Amino acid sequence: MAWHDRKYADASLRLAGLALLCVAILVARHLFTAPDPQGKVTASAYLLALIGMASACTGAALAVLGRHLFDEVELSARWTIHVPPQRGDQ
């Protein structure tokens, strides 16, 4: 049994997603309210924006899907690899 099939994995993953969404909101609020008198964008602002975006994307996926994020899906024949038979195998 995989770890994400356990009893409380779904709730834990969804709570982790909500926590990451809260982190993204806090980072965004800091970025929008931080005074910048010179109007220059610093490397730390870019890093905070990166952290906020990654937290928002990951948190949304975890909060919406929970343990179903790890479900196996069937690929269509278009996206699978087909190995042609060797000349001697025909």
Give the pLDDT of residue 48. 93
HSE value, Cβ hemisphere, 13 Å, CA-based, for 48: 14
CB atoms inside a 10 Å sphere around CB 18: 14
pLDDT tens by residue, 33-86: 877 777 788 888 899 999 999 999 999 999 999 988 888 889 898 888 888 888
Write phi, then psi, for 81 (nearest 5 degrees): -90, 125
Predicted pLDDT at 17: 96
Residue 57 lies in a domain: yes
- pLDDT of amino acid 90: 54
How many domains does one find in the chain?
A: 1
What pTM, to 2 d.p., does this model score? 0.76
Instruction: Judge whether 46 lies within some domain.
Output: yes
In contact, 55 and 19? CB cutoff 8 Å: no
Q: By residue range, what is the domain housing residue 35? A: 7-71
